[in-house]
Amino acid sequence: MRTAAKRLALTIPPLRRLYEFAMFHAHGHTESQRQLHELQQTHSRALEEARRQHEKLELQLYVMRSDHQRAAVRNEALSIALSELETQVAKNASFEKFFAQMSEKISSGFQAQQESLNGLLDRAVSREDQALAQSKLFGQLAVLTSEVARIKRPTGGTSEGLATIYLNLLEDALTGILWNDAPMDPWSKSFDPSVRAIGRDWPSSALTMIGSARLRNFRMLIEQAISERIPGDILEAGVWRGGACILARAVLAAHDVRDRRVWVADSFAGLPPPDPKYPSDAGDQHSTFTQLQVTLEEVQQSFRKYGLLDEQVCFLKGWFKDTLPRAPIEALSVLRLDGDMYGSTIETLEALYAKVSVGGYVIIDDYILEGCKQAVHDFRRAASIEDELQEVDGAAVYWKKTRA
């Protein structure tokens, strides 16, 4: 009935024209809605791309600031490091024997890298290039210094040699050098072992970003504390994926040390936002980098994969200001700080420095960053600490605690 009425109505010209007019505008409204929807989708994609570009630019700005700070490292630091190494070699009567045994293993590679660095210095056109080349040389010196320190300790024959082989291999695995682990940061084009050695890129899958030189420094100081019978555990504040702490536990295992623990302290949620209490941290962007957020479960699983998750590994989850002051730690032989910011650094030192044994070591991974450096200077000044700061690789420093 309705269909017949409609057909009859459409035979009347005025009604037909009215119907066609309505249908035309209804179709136009639908088309407008479709175009509006497409425009909204295009706008959303543009906003998302702009957000990604903004995050990338913020990350690049952080790196540029870091490079600028690295360029401020004193030029005479290299000559001081070389002078100290020469003095150490002169005092070490066994160095000639060591050099004869190790020359085929390291001299050719070290000389080639040194020549490459010299060439880089000759071609350098900016303070940043010079600082990078200088840091690479510092990194090589740190590794060589650890080899010199190793031969000065009493050896345990075959077991000592196997421990060294194991720990050397573990270092290469934890830094990703073993398989040329590609960097994930936006400023690195491809894997460069000399850059990875000084921790200047962010590894895709390797478990530490501190680089070979700083990792070897950590190992060397733990071994010295064991050799010198300095009492206390080992703690790292700021662990990322846990690579340095995995090495620390491996050092204890390799030397059959069962009366020390490795403390793994981190929020396991990235870095905290800047605290107004610390003006030096104003504008700090570390809390926005999702790449720095690694969960406790991920770190524990990494320990488990290397067969090193046991009762000698203790985890402290939370912000340093909340966990470190009440941590059940009696003494520390090595304290390693990798908190980047003024607040994280000063809070760790205030909570734990008193527990570092005399003869123990304090390592500052991020001394190159102005906020961290200022926190170190402020704390050392307030505590009247005059122990000499030792260079590691142009970014990190450490000192040996000589008095309570």
For the stretch 274-311, pLDDT in tens is 999 999 999 999 999 999 999 999 999 999 999 999 99
Nearest to 188 by CA among 88, 67, 299: 67
What is the model's pLDDT at position 166? 95
What is the model's pLDDT at position 10? 55
Q: Are 272 and 323 in contact (CB under 8 A)?
A: no
Q: For the chain, list residues with pLDDT below 50.
A: 71-75, 78, 93, 95, 98-99, 103, 106-107, 110, 117, 120-121, 124-125, 151-152
Q: What is the DSSP string of 283-331?
A: T--GGG-GGG---HHHHHHHHHHTT--STTEEEEES-HHHHSTT-----
What is the model's pLDDT at position 70? 53
What is the model's pLDDT at position 330? 97
Reported as type and span, the H/E element at residue 353 is none
Provide the sign of the torsion angle of the four alpha carbons 345, 349, 351, 357, taken in this order: positive
What is the model's pLDDT at position 151? 47
User: 179: which 2 tokens?
Assistant: 């398989």
The whole-model pTM stands at 0.67
- Structural domains in the chain plus CATH codes: 80-153 (no CATH), 157-404 (3.40.50.150)
Amino acid at 203: P
Q: What angle do CA 169, 171, 175 make, to 5 degrees?
A: 120
What is the model's pLDDT at position 235? 98
Residue 157 gets the label, from left (phi > 0), alpha (psi -120 to 50) or beta, of: left
What is the model's pLDDT at position 229? 97
CA separation, residue 365 to residues 87, 102, 260, 314, 394 (Å): 26, 29, 22, 21, 10
Nearest to 187 by CA among 67, 51, 343, 360: 67
